[in-house]
Structure 1
Amino acid sequence: MFSGSIPALVTPFAADGRFDEGVYRDFIEWQIAEGSSALVPVGTTGEAATLSAEEHFYIVAVCVDQTKGRVPVIAGAGSNDTRVAIHNIAAAKAAGADAALMVPPYYNRPNQEGIFRHFEAVAGSCDLPIVLYNVPGRTVTDIAVETVARIAQELPSVVGIKDATGQLQRVSGQRAGAGAGFCQLSGNDETALAFNAMGGVGCISVTANVAPRLCAEFQAACAGGDYIGALALHDRLFALHLALFTDASPGPVKYAVTRMRPGFPEALRLPMMWPSAASRAAVDSAMAALSPRP
């Protein structure tokens, strides 16, 4: 259902902290023109944790309006409270999103049965397609491979997963349990090449905020079976993949976007901060290396 290079969009804030809608609309246009195959507003990279519910779904609606059906919009909509998650998926549908990206309950740390029942309740409340987002490094909670398979088999509106575990063997395990038609998207740019080789179909990407055309070309090469070409693009992007996590995200990627698109505002919302000088230097070096090698 979803594939290719899918940026987890940064959210621009003006100097006074307000959402900068004009910059966001321009950024979406650039992303579509550069070949991004779908868009994820208000995910982790979009600083969703600092947005009010009203802001959150207003931003989703802006993304949907600007996209005008040219690419799908997968709205960040997760919560650690099942009742709030049910409200969020309804709000995402009302805003016009094509799907919802949903983490398992964080902080609460439910067991695997609790994770399944959470998604069962959410899926039962709304027919909007759901993409699971498994990112134990942030949520602590981990959706086990067996639970992914159970969800895929029993909840038909759950159509895929963004897997940010970094455990590549899960791609094969999830294909075996959930079926080849279950959409697997990498949540880690630096391992997306191996992820795709094992059966993945794309990446919900941080790096695509900065280098959307190269990320789209990389994913197209993988989809076409051109792994020699994909490896060459991976090598060009690899330093940037790593540099964007040399400080707390999304600080480094926001800095990189300001380098790529002058006029993009530098503001983040507390507790997130502008990246350190060392992190900025790493990003600068990686961006300088993006030009084709001789």
Structure 2
Amino acid sequence: MSKYDEAKQKLRGSICPVITPFKEDGSIDEETFKNLVDWQIKSGSHGISVTGTSGEPSSLNVAERKRVMDLAKEAINGRVIFTPGTGSTNHDETIELTKYAEEIGVDAAMVIVPYYNKPNQDALYEHFKTVADSVEIPIIIYNIPGRTAVNMEVSTMKRLVEDCPNIIGAKESNKDFEHVNRVLLNCGRDFLLYSGIELLCYPMLAIGGAGFISATANVEPKKVAELYNAWEAGDVAKAQDLHYELMPLNDVLFKDTNPTVAKAALGMMGKITPKLRLPLGLPSEALQKEVRETLVNMEILEK
């Protein structure tokens, strides 16, 4: 069994895309961050990802992104899998961050489809192939067309999988469920497919997905992980129940741009100082009230 086949067996479950907490002065709150990672692991999350969408990577410079990876690696201490986000809109920066991830010994690097640039499919192929060829660690493609304005087509993903043995999976934040079905059909049933759309976490398991990288796990890690555990145990009824039980929280967390609502919720829970870096800001008072009511209804907060 190759090291990439071994990775495909290992990199499964609920991987939490942990937020980046800031102090009131805007600096990274390192102790709070490490506490969040520890809480995630103790709550049952099967893996940790950082500096993905929930981690506000476009608000961090390269040195800060490396620092967050270092902090996560230290806090995880080998207890669960670690798949940091290393992609950006800049090609050389993506290679630098991905090489750094390999240097510190991560389990896989998650590389986003470049945002804002709007590359065509051939350019996307060249970007990802060059990044994959620069390292030997597994690569997970992060396809989120709602935020990048570009969708990696199935044919492009298939081409990359055929040409790059270390591209072993994709996080699909794609509401087109036909698309994600075709990803597994064309890239192989052993290709690791993760849902990045909260309401598709359970359906993705049903078609052969490897798990999910759900922002909701920042707020309710235990139940998000239990959904995966129930499915793996063959308890379909419990998995379905958790899917619907989590739906009100999934809905409210995305009524404003992620991670603004998640940070507001974590602030209410006493986990962080709910600080974002501009241009992001906290949701409206009305939405924060709705968030609090949802947390109370789900018994995450007391009345």
Q: Is this a same-fold pair by TM over 0.5?
A: yes
The aligned residue for residue 273 of structure 1 is 281
Deviation at 1:263, TM superposition (A): 5.0
In structure 2, what residue type is equivalent to 1:28?
V
Q: Let me know the Cα RMSD of the aligned residues.
A: 1.4
User: Once superposed, which parts of structure 1, at least 4 consecutive aligned residues long, lie more than 3 Å away?
Assistant: none
C-alpha contact 2:266 2:274 (8 A) present in aligned 1: no
Match of 1:286 among 294, 298, 302: 294
Partner Cα distance (2:120, 2:142) in 1: 16
In structure 2, what residue type is equivalent to 1:240?
L
Match of 2:28 among 7, 19, 24: 19
State the TM-score, normalized to the length of structure 1. 0.95
The aligned residue for residue 231 of structure 2 is 222
Partner Cα distance (2:271, 2:25) in 1: 15
The aligned residue for residue 94 of structure 1 is 103
Match of 2:204 among 195, 218, 228: 195
- Please list the CA deviations of residues 144-182 of structure 1 after superposition, one character each: whole Å capped at 9, or x if unmatched: 011111111221111100000111122321111111111
Gaps of 5+ in 2: 1-7
Pairing 1:207-286 to 2, within 5 Å after superposition: 207-260=216-269, 262-286=270-294
Partner Cα distance (1:267, 1:95) in 2: 28
Partner Cα distance (2:115, 2:272) in 1: 32
Partner Cα distance (2:20, 2:255) in 1: 20
C-alpha contact 2:111 2:141 (8 A) present in aligned 1: yes
| Number of residue pairs matched by the alignment | 291
167-176 vs 140-149, which deviates more? 167-176
C-alpha contact 1:168 1:194 (8 A) present in aligned 2: no
Deviation at 1:222, TM superposition (A): 1.9
In structure 1, what residue type is equivalent to 2:72?
C
In structure 1, what residue type is equivalent to 2:58?
A
Pairing 1:151-170 to 2, within 5 Å after superposition: 151-170=160-179
Mark the CA change 1:263 to 1:152 in structure 2 (over 3 Å): closer, same or farther.
closer
Gaps of 5+ in 1: none
Q: Is 1:122 equivalent to 2:131 in the alignment?
A: yes
Partner Cα distance (2:40, 2:167) in 1: 26
Q: Is 1:110 equivalent to 2:119 in the alignment?
A: yes
Partner Cα distance (2:25, 2:59) in 1: 14
What is the identity percentage for the equivalent residue pairs of Structure 1 and Structure 2?
34
Partner Cα distance (2:124, 2:233) in 1: 36
Deviation at 1:132, TM superposition (A): 0.3
50-59 vs 109-118, which deviates more? 109-118
In structure 2, what residue type is equivalent to 1:146?
S
